[in-house]
Amino acid sequence: MATVTLDEVRKVFAGKPPTVALEGLDLQIEDGEMLILVGPSGCGKTTALRCVAGLEKPTSGRILIGEHEVQELPPRKRDVAMVFQNYALYPYLTVYKNLAFGLKEHKVPRPEVDRRVREMSAILGLDALLGRRPAQLSGGQSQRVAMGRALVREPHVFLLDEPLSNLDAKLRGQMRAEILQLQRRIGVTSLYVTHDQAEAMTLGDRIAVINAGRLLQLGTPEDVFRRPVSLFVAAFMGTPSMNLLRGEVAGGVLRAGSVELHAGGAPDGPVVLGFRPEALLPARSAAGLPQLEMTVDVVEELGNETLVYGEVPGEVASVEIDPTLPPPLPGSRARVAARLQGFTDVHSGEALPLGLRTDALHVFDAATGAALAVEAEAAPTS
């Protein structure tokens, strides 16, 4: 096994104008670690993986596997295996032969090929399918074969580019658990790209959030979710997204819409107040907390929880993450989401009193987007 280091990796694709896909990316994946790479579409995730695999050559910067610089080596000399979203199995070969294919290419002796194929097949639960062809497999089974084909080579580094995105939600959840078990069992250093928040939060030892070819934050799932370093990371992680209201700090008091708080440590000036949907509580269980009233428009009862969307006084702070989404409505009402426990008797059109958990607030500098260290406390109602 080995660590993987990206040192100031820059990748510019020629063209008019040229595209800067990676802008000096620094990243270190520990030996045996599962590192998740997330970021908006086009931010350079696939390019980063392809550079590690040797399918793209960085314009500048170094890539190390263990102690060895590999950026000049061809893919087959790197001991890296990659699974893509659109993995293609060889349609005319059986599962067994699909698994064995890469080993034969590498001139592994036949008994050793057989041993490794059977071992991988047992790990992945493919024993009963070894004689089938890809057309006779379900989506999840094909995905397992694709992973097996990559791992049977016993690579030092395993790269996965949205490997589950073609599967339906339930199967994705099941495969997620399998991948985690498999990765733990084999202990291969892995870099995993996903758009799926649940995958990122549950699979990763650590998560790297990148945007525009740069690393924004690298930390445990808890770090990036609970202690985002910037407005962008805060808005990117979590579904529904963190609620963000424009506010102002004056003399240690933060006002954002109808919310008023003591914000110890915050410098005077414009800020953005962030709170996740789960930081909003029904007012009856939120005595002593800052209150705000939501005019409910959509209620989604999900069984174990209810998502309530509506408007509160204030102005939404917009963070451009997905340029295809409509911008927030202008005016003095802000759309926010609340996540409440279980079923509720909340209905569209109602005024819903909510309390805001002060231990789960985030305050960002409105100009730079940097997270500010703030001790929030409910302001006594005057």
Ligand X SMILES: Nc1ncnc2c1ncn2[C@@H]1O[C@H](COP(=O)(O)OP(=O)(O)OP(=O)(O)O)[C@@H](O)[C@H]1O
Q: Which is nearer to ligand X, 43 or 159 (CB)?
A: 43
Q: Which is nearer to ligand X, 21 or 242 (CB)?
A: 21
- Residues in the interface with Mg ion (CB under 5 A) total 1
Q: Which is nearer to ligand X, 43 or 179 (CB)?
A: 43
Among 4, 39, 46, 103, binds Mg ion (CB under 5 A): 46
Residue 136 binds which of Mg ion, ligand X, none (CB < 5-8 A, kind-dependent): none
The reply to whether 183 sits near Mg ion by the rule CB under 5 A is no
Q: Which is nearer to ligand X, 1 or 55 (CB)?
A: 55
The reply to whether 243 sits near Mg ion by the rule CB under 5 A is no
Please state the closest distance from residue 190 (CB atom) to Mg ion, in A: 16
Q: Which is nearer to Mg ion, 41 or 174 (CB)?
A: 41
Pair type for strands 60-65 and 351-356:
unpaired
Distances (CA, A) of 11 to 23, 25, 27, 58, 73: 7, 9, 15, 5, 16
C-alpha closest to that of 179 among 156, 194, 167, 163: 163
Please state the closest distance from residue 210 (CB atom) to ligand X, in A: 8
Q: Which pair of tokens denotes residue 178?
A: 């399998």
Rounded CA separation 120/155 (Å): 13
Is 37 in contact with 48 (CB distance < 8 Å)? yes
Q: DSSP character for 53? A: H
Residue 42 binds which of Mg ion, ligand X, none (CB < 5-8 A, kind-dependent): ligand X
Measured in whole angstroms, how far is the alpha carbon of residue 238 from the centre of its chain? Answer: 9
Rounded CA separation 354/219 (Å): 32
Please state the closest distance from residue 322 (CB atom) to ligand X, in A: 11
Please state the closest distance from residue 242 (CB atom) to ligand X, in A: 21
Residue 13 binds which of Mg ion, ligand X, none (CB < 5-8 A, kind-dependent): ligand X
Interface residues toward ligand X, by CB under 6 A: 13, 15, 19, 21, 39, 41-47
Rounded CA separation 268/247 (Å): 11
Q: Which is nearer to ligand X, 121 or 194 (CB)?
A: 194
Q: Which residues contact 270 (CB under 8 A, 6 or more apart)?
A: 246, 247, 248, 366, 367
The reply to whether 211 sits near Mg ion by the rule CB under 5 A is no
Rounded CA separation 190/36 (Å): 8
